[in-house]
Structure 1
Amino acid sequence: MVTASRERILRALRAVAEARERSPLVARTVVGVHVEGPYLAAADGPRGAHDARHLRDPDPDELAGWLAAAPGLVRIVTLAPERPGSADYIRAATRAGVVVAVGHTDASPEQIREAARAGAGLSTHLGNGTHAVLPRHPNHIWAQLAEDALTATFIADGHHLPADAFVAMVRAKGTGRAVLVSDSVALAGCPPGEYRTPVGGSVTVEPSGTLRLTGTSLLAGSGRSLLDCVRWAVRETPFTLAEVWEMASTAPARALGLTGRGVIEVGARADLCVAEQQGAAEGQLRLVSTLVCGEA
């Protein structure tokens, strides 16, 4: 979920909670919600495609309302730690079992370190959600790479990060603290053209599949699936399929504290993607089937 009014976020959380209650399949597959915003930097660049009208400072009372509306559902909240009250919010969220992620930020290195000391555990799509031009050093990307308390998520779709930046960042973090995320949105797979969406307003799908806020260079989510990201990372970087697959499965489960997921072992949940290799080049994968709790 992204930045919106207080009422809209609450409605969305309740809708997901109700869907999980109605459907055992939804309950097994939707392990939680990532609320990305509304406590983000307001400047163009760090704000990304988030609606500036609804950006605000972190509010522990609002968090309490989310937790009451959808008990156990809020797993991640992304915030910009330069916002007033961030440290207190991070401590409150961490006590409630919510993982706080740093993202869409223009924070100083000290503010990044303060967020980590308060309990922040993730970086949201590191290398994106920031200004197009940053000081050589110091800047918040170096600070997040250097902070061992932060596991970093990356959008490996070939549009959000060039291969060399992705490789350098993952090597800085180590594959065990690097997580692949798709950032896939509703326009993923749509033909090139201009579209109207609830998030971002006018969005252009380029022939390459890149999504941008119309008339700007700002990205508006991704048009690729997580399996596409795995394919790209294996094809374009030195990382092996085993390393990339870990970043897309085991590492995210570990970052969220999910036991029995992201592993293949006796007693674990059989949540599996079955893919087959096509051709001689590693990473040419075709999805064959998906199993949830051992059921196709």
Structure 2
Amino acid sequence: MHYRGRLPDGACVSVAVAGTHIATVERLPADDALPYLLPVLVDLQHNGSLGVRYDSLCQHEPADLVTIANHLRRHGVGRCLMTFTTYPLDKLLLSAARVAAWLAQDAALNRLFPGIFHEGVFISPVDGWRGAHALEWIRQADYDAIQAFDDAAGGRVRIVNVAPEQPGGLDFIARAVDAGKLVALGHCGPDAATVHEAVRRGASLVTHFGNGAPGQIHRHKNPLWAFLNNPGLRLGLIGDGFHLPPDLIGAALRCKGPGGCFAVSDAASFAGCPPGAYSRPDGRPFTIEPDGLTHMNNRDILAGSWFQQDRCVEILATRVGLPLPEAWRLCSEIPAAIIGETLPAIAVGEEASFVLARLAGGRLLIEQSVHLGVPYLEQPLGTGMPVHVPASRTS
């Protein structure tokens, strides 16, 4: 198979793929009509898709995970952290063990899912700060519980989230960092001093900055300013067009500078499903609107995103105003570097995993998505094209 495209630096090339690797790379004359040839997308916060949540994989079969994997690949995603949220601890442990068993048997899946982000359950129980998470399953920070979860998952936990102001939160951070985990602050309402102490103890990320917060907060006494000001924190930004306004994203990028922010999809378990009324595992209802907005009964409380990481590229390029290669980096190479993943280069002998994409009419179109030499698209795919699949209506 041969693919022609423009590299991020503008060079035009023809790439020949043999099996799972790149066989040749030849330079072509400049041609602005070619799509960009880009590294795979990397999503550090992905809760599931198509009616399946990673939390509840203990209730599913391997084929369900393969279905999610192929959905991700179609949208250009080549690395993804499974995100486990607030859920009963016994089910989290069972699901983690199932993940470990399945990934150990499938090298391609194990490459796509290089780790886990544990977002719940050690978050603030306070309304607003806990977002759409179920109050009944929130627990006090307990690193022994995370260690048990990580053991069940075969050591796959890469990032853990905690509310540092809650009992045990700061000590949790120190233990997690000592164990080699990245620590994120999110769904939390600490004062500035606590934020800075959390960073001193090793916290380095902010979970979906600007979200997981009350609709109204004190103009000065809130953690957002400390998150922005502390150079030790990198900000995760949900770029689906609903969670954050473009000006906030732009301000965060300017404040933090290169490498200080990264985009995440926060794709919910019902990402890609038809519009309609659904319910979460604890019985609370939520709605998917025709435009993809996914919200609880209170429309101000979002229930994750309907979209995948390619939508973040589209929003960063078309609404925030970044050049496409720069928008792509925020959704690919920057998050990859955070978790220590090296993405395949466009070079002879490298893994044949890359994406051909362009902007057209204010939308991102993925023209082809190749993973380990396999092309996943029969026609170009837009970020908002619906994927109608059967699913029970319980998230």
Is the TM-score greater than 0.5?
yes
The residue identity in structure 1 corresponding to 2:368 is V
CA contact (8 A) 1:49 1:200 kept: no
Question: Counterpart in 2 of 1:276?
Answer: 357
Question: Counterpart in 1 of 2:184?
Answer: 101
* Structure 1 residues 13 and 208: alpha-carbon distance in aligned structure 2, compared to 1, 3 A threshold: same
The residue identity in structure 1 corresponding to 2:99 is V
Same amino acid, percent of matched pairs: 35
2:197 equivalent to 1:114: yes
Could you tell me how far 1:134 is from its partner in structure 2?
1.5
Which of 286, 306, 320 is the equivalent residue of 1:223? 306
2:368 is paired with a residue whose SS is: strand
CA contact (8 A) 1:234 1:240 kept: yes
CA contact (8 A) 1:10 1:69 kept: yes
2:287 equivalent to 1:204: yes
Task: Flag the structure with higher strand content.
Answer: 2
CA contact (8 A) 1:194 1:214 kept: no
Could you tell me how far 1:197 is from its partner in structure 2?
3.1
For 1:279 and 1:287, locate their aligned partners in 2 and report how far apart those are by CA, in whole Å.
11
Question: Counterpart in 2 of 1:126?
Answer: 209
CA contact (8 A) 1:182 1:226 kept: yes
Question: Counterpart in 2 of 1:163?
Answer: 246
The residue identity in structure 2 corresponding to 1:277 is R
Question: Counterpart in 2 of 1:23?
Answer: 106
Which of 272, 278, 285 is the equivalent residue of 2:365? 285
CA contact (8 A) 2:358 2:364 kept: yes
Question: Counterpart in 1 of 2:50?
Answer: none
2:121 equivalent to 1:38: yes
The residue identity in structure 1 corresponding to 2:211 is N
Question: Counterpart in 2 of 1:144?
Answer: 227
User: How many residues get paired?
Assistant: 292
**Deviation larger for 33-42 or 167-176:** 167-176
For 1:252 and 1:63, locate their aligned partners in 2 and report how far apart those are by CA, in whole Å.
23
For 1:174 and 1:226, locate their aligned partners in 2 and report how far apart those are by CA, in whole Å.
21
The residue identity in structure 2 corresponding to 1:289 is S
CA contact (8 A) 1:79 1:100 kept: yes
The residue identity in structure 2 corresponding to 1:264 is A
CA contact (8 A) 2:215 2:300 kept: no
For 2:360 and 2:335, locate their aligned partners in 1 and report how far apart those are by CA, in whole Å.
29
The residue identity in structure 2 corresponding to 1:124 is T
2:259 is paired with a residue whose SS is: helix
The residue identity in structure 1 corresponding to 2:143 is P
The residue identity in structure 1 corresponding to 2:117 is H
CA contact (8 A) 1:195 1:202 kept: yes
2:214 is paired with a residue whose SS is: coil
Gap runs ≥5 in structure 2: 1-83, 376-395
Deviations 1:140-181 (A, max 9, x none): 011001111111110011100011111111111123121110
* Structure 1 residues 244 and 272: alpha-carbon distance in aligned structure 2, compared to 1, 3 A threshold: farther
Task: Flag the structure with higher helix content.
Answer: 1
CA contact (8 A) 2:157 2:181 kept: yes
Could you tell me how far 1:215 is from its partner in structure 2?
4.2
Gap runs ≥5 in structure 1: none
Question: Counterpart in 2 of 1:173?
Answer: 256
Structure-to-structure mapping, 1:228-247, within 5 angstroms = 228-247=311-330
Could you tell me how far 1:139 is from its partner in structure 2?
1.7
Could you tell me how far 1:265 is from its partner in structure 2?
6.4
CA contact (8 A) 1:50 1:199 kept: no
**Deviation larger for 267-276 or 197-206:** 267-276
1:290 is paired with a residue whose SS is: strand
2:168 equivalent to 1:85: yes
Could you tell me how far 1:192 is from its partner in structure 2?
2.6
The residue identity in structure 1 corresponding to 2:90 is E
- Over aligned residue pairs, what C-alpha RMSD do you find? 2.0
Could you tell me how far 1:287 is from its partner in structure 2?
4.0
* Structure 1 residues 191 and 64: alpha-carbon distance in aligned structure 2, compared to 1, 3 A threshold: closer
* Structure 1 residues 268 and 122: alpha-carbon distance in aligned structure 2, compared to 1, 3 A threshold: farther
TM-score scaled by length of structure 2: 0.70
**Deviation larger for 272-281 or 174-183:** 272-281
For 1:220 and 1:274, locate their aligned partners in 2 and report how far apart those are by CA, in whole Å.
29
The residue identity in structure 2 corresponding to 1:181 is V
**Deviation larger for 17-26 or 66-75:** 66-75
For 1:2 and 1:166, locate their aligned partners in 2 and report how far apart those are by CA, in whole Å.
24
CA contact (8 A) 2:313 2:364 kept: no
1:40 is paired with a residue whose SS is: coil
Could you tell me how far 1:72 is from its partner in structure 2?
2.4
TM-score scaled by length of structure 1: 0.92
